[in-house]
Amino acid sequence: MNLFSIFLGRVHAAIHDIAGDRADAIALHLSRVVVEPPRDASHGDMATNAAMVLAKEFGAKPRDLAEALAAKLREDPDVAAVEIAGPGFINLRLREAVWIDALASMLGAGPEFGRSQIGQNRATNVEYVSANPTGPMHVGHCRGAVFGDALANLLQFAGYDVTREYYVNDAGAQVDVLARSVYLRYREALGEDIGAIPEGLYPGDYLSPVGKALADLYGDTLLKKSEAEWLPMVRAAAIEEMLAVIKDDLAALDIRHDVFFSEASLQGQGGAVDTTLDQLRKAGLVYEGRLPPPKGQLPEDWEDREQTLFKTEQFGDDTDRPLVKSDCSYTYFASDVAYMKDKIGRGFEELIFVLGADHGGYVKRLEAVAAALSGGKAHVDVKLVQLVRLFRAGEPVKMSKRAGDFVTLREVVDEVGRDAVRFMMLFRKNDAVLDFDFAKVVEQSRENPVFYVQYAYARTQSVLRNAAESLGGDVGGPASADALARLSDAGEIGLIRKLAEFPRIVESAAQAHEPHRIAFYLHELASDLHHHWNRGNDNPGLRFVVADDPQATNGRLALVRGVALVLSTGLRLLGVAAPAEMR
RNA sequence: GGCCCCGUAGCUCAGCUGGAUAGAGCAGCAGCCUUCUAAGCUGUUGGUCGCAGGUUCGAGUCCUGCCGGGGUCGCCA
């Protein structure tokens, strides 16, 4: 139930009523007509731009058209007043009963309030995290992980058919380096003194247990084998272990993927990469050619040579992209093409990629590949997630990648908790750099948005507990129509109005792929609740629990339950807990 | 040098895909206050939306060109 779309329907009807034989021409422009809350609450409850958008088609001045539409809308029994303002806005003021009904109906919907069908079950793939299986996750992965997970929740709630996917880079040079690093630990586990870890191998001691496990399993038999023999065995074991570590890290953030897709599974003789490239060759999209060197500074090892290229440029990429390396193996990009083909083959229409901002150069080629492979059917959206800067009480946390002393995701979660991490990662637009302060995010203060929002929910529960105590157990049931009708204070109606916005926030956030809008909305709702609460300090008549007036109390408790409902649903979408009390 | 992202109050950021007089929190200023268990509260100052053009009824939002900051730039993943 979205009040704004309901009234959009009524505005459409009013337009249709006065359109006459222009109806067909006007229908084409209807999508630009919106009904939204006005920026300034004094303008009314809802505003529509219909008259300004359609003035040309009607051959009328915006304000004249607005007048005609207003006359129609005034016939609506739910509308208390219609005003025309500015260049031709139509402002609607709704009868109070509409808000009361809205509250009753959202309480009836319960946890389903806000759910939408705009996704129309579109098959949607959200790929996120996809960290190389070479070690535990560090903070750099954290933001994309939370973002992708919350976005997936949001899209599901908005009616998309969502698959959460992780692309495992288990082919290529990196996992060979991993295998060699583990092999060293294996020798160490057998009692050998391996000394310092050589440059170019992974130094982290998280690999020691893997080496130990191999020693337990194989004894010293691997020592006698050549690298060509032991490497695949060690590699497979190492990848499996690292993936288990990563899944464990993700679970600490309450993140679980549906599909872990192996890059290696695409490769090999007659594999998906082979067949995909064959198809592209047949389609004339692959050729042997030379690439112009990059503009500006020429890389030192630049060598002008002929290579196998995919014609991505004609699909919007900056240049064509190589598919085969100089050693005749496939490039990472070739796997990517086959992987994209696989996703499209599985029927996905919406392909969302959550990547770090340093992958910005990858956007155009992904879009081009999807366009080339799906004939423009599959829609790609790459969400770039900016970096997180860590602070400890205002001081930047120093990290050196070379020395391997990066902060792990697990350390952050263990220190401040899952809720703080998740909420803060979402309390900023994805493409803006985010400052994360260990001290601030656990502070119990107004300046800490995690606490501020969770505390608002705890406050609703505290009120309900309190009311149950002072009024007896009879406050849990649904409020009667008479009780609801007692809601009339501007602050109370204002809160309902805010609650009624939730469904359209869900829809717009889902369509824009911007979960942060939910976080900001919740922060506003929390703020409205706290403000209304504070008014009760000066004016006891506005408090939720009115000792000698059970009917008014019942109505107000329904409002409290409505706020609690939306806060908990919103927090659920973000993957953040809604605690009943905070002490 | 090419491409991508960012630039909004002193600071940190929103701005609902083009709407009305651009918002919030912090800081500042001025008051009030000891709680329906809870973060003290209320009011208020503060803006050439980086700059210059353009598109139209209307631009922080879209287009072009500059300025500043970050990222990225054949075969690494």
> What ipTM goes with this model?
0.95
Q: What is the pLDDT of residues A175-209, one digit of tens each?
A: 999 999 999 999 999 999 999 999 889 988 999 99
**Average model confidence (pLDDT) for chain A?**
92
Q: What is the mean pLDDT of residues A539-548?
A: 86
Does A3-94 match A445-574 in CATH topology?
A: no
Which of A553, A436, A432, A538 has the alpha carbon at shortest distance from A487?
A553
Nucleotide B17's nearest residue (CA vs C1') is: A512
A289 touches strand B (CB under 7 A): no
What is the spatial distance, in angstroms and rounded to an integer, between the CA atom of A361 and the C1' atom of B76?
14
Q: Note the Cα A97 to chain centre separation in Å.
A: 35
Of residues A469 and A75, more confidence is placed in A75
Protein-contacted bases of chain B (C-beta within 7 A): 1-6, 12-17, 19-26, 35-42, 57-58, 70-77
User: Is it the case that residue A298 has pLDDT exceeding 80?
Assistant: no
Cβ neighbourhood burial of A171 (10 Å; 0-12, 13-18, 19+): buried
> Quick one: pLDDT at residue A300?
72
Q: Is the CB of A537 under 7 A from strand B?
A: yes
Lowest mean pLDDT segment, chosen from A11-15, A129-133, A295-299, A425-429? A295-299
Least reliable range by pLDDT among A186-200, A301-315, A569-583? A301-315
The domain ranges of chain A are 3-94, 119-441, 445-574
Q: Decide: A22 and A68 in contact? Cβ < 8 Å.
A: no
The pLDDT value given to residue A164: 98
Q: Average pLDDT, stretch A232-240?
A: 96
Nucleotide nearest to A332 (CA to C1'): B77
Helices H, strands E: what count in chain A? 20, 15
DSSP state of A255: -
Tell whether the model's pLDDT for residue A297 goes beyond 80. no
| Statement: the CB of A447 is under 7 Å from strand B | yes
pLDDT at A1 over 70: no
Quick one: tokens of A98?
């509409």
Reply yes or no on whether the pLDDT at A473 is more than 70. Answer: no
What's domain A445-574's architecture?
Orthogonal Bundle (1.10)
Whether A432 sits with its Cβ under 7 A from any strand B atom: the answer reads yes
Mean pLDDT for A274-302 is 86
Most confident of A31-40, A422-431, A531-540: A422-431
> With pLDDT > 70 as the criterion, what percentage of chain A qualifies?
97
* Nearest nt by C1' to A363 Cα: B4
Q: Which nucleotide is nearest to A523 (CA to C1')?
A: B24
Residue A405's pLDDT is: 63
Q: In the β-sheet with A307-310, what is the strand arrangement from edge to edge? A: A286-289, A307-310, A321-322
Kindly report which listed range (A23-37, A133-147, A558-572) carries the lowest average pLDDT score.
A23-37
Say which residues have a Cβ less than 8 Å from residue A351's Cβ, sequence separation at least 6. A124, A125, A127, A340, A343, A344, A370, A378, A379, A380, A381
Q: A11-33 pLDDT, tens per residue?
A: 999 999 998 888 888 888 888 89
Alpha-carbon distance of A36 to A3, in angstroms, equals 10
Closest residue, CA to C1' of B5 = A431
**pLDDT tens across A374-413, in order?**
998 999 999 999 999 999 878 888 776 555 567 899 999 9
> What local confidence, expressed as pLDDT, does residue A447 receive?
84
Question: Which residues of chain A (126-145) touch nucleic strand B at CB < 7 A?
Answer: 132
pTM listed for this prediction: 0.95
Beta-bridge partner residues of A84: A90
pLDDT tens per residue across span A86-96: 889 999 999 99
Q: What is the pLDDT of residue A398?
A: 77
* Domain A3-94: top CATH class: alpha beta
- The reply to whether the CB atom of residue A539 sits less than 7 A from any atom in nucleic acid chain B is no
Which range has the worst mean pLDDT, A200-204, A237-241, A570-574? A200-204
Question: pLDDT tens for residues A479-513?
Answer: 888 999 999 888 999 999 999 999 999 999 999 99
Q: Give the nearest nucleotide to A62, CA to C1'.
A: B57
Distance CA A206, CA A193 (A): 17
To the nearest 10°, report the CA torsion of A7, A13, A17, A22. Answer: 120
Most confident stretch, A59-63, A162-166, A315-319:
A162-166
Q: Which of residues 38-67 of A touch strand B (CB under 7 A)?
A: 38-40, 43-44, 47, 49, 52-53, 56, 62
Answer whether A319's CB lies under 8 Å from A350's CB: no
Q: What percent of chain A has pLDDT over 90?
A: 73
Fold of A119-441: Rossmann fold (3.40.50)
Using an 8 Å Cβ cutoff, are A356 and A327 in contact?
no
Identify nearest nucleotide to residue A336 by CA to C1′ distance: B77
Burial label for A566, CB within 10 Å (0-12, 13-18, 19+), is: buried
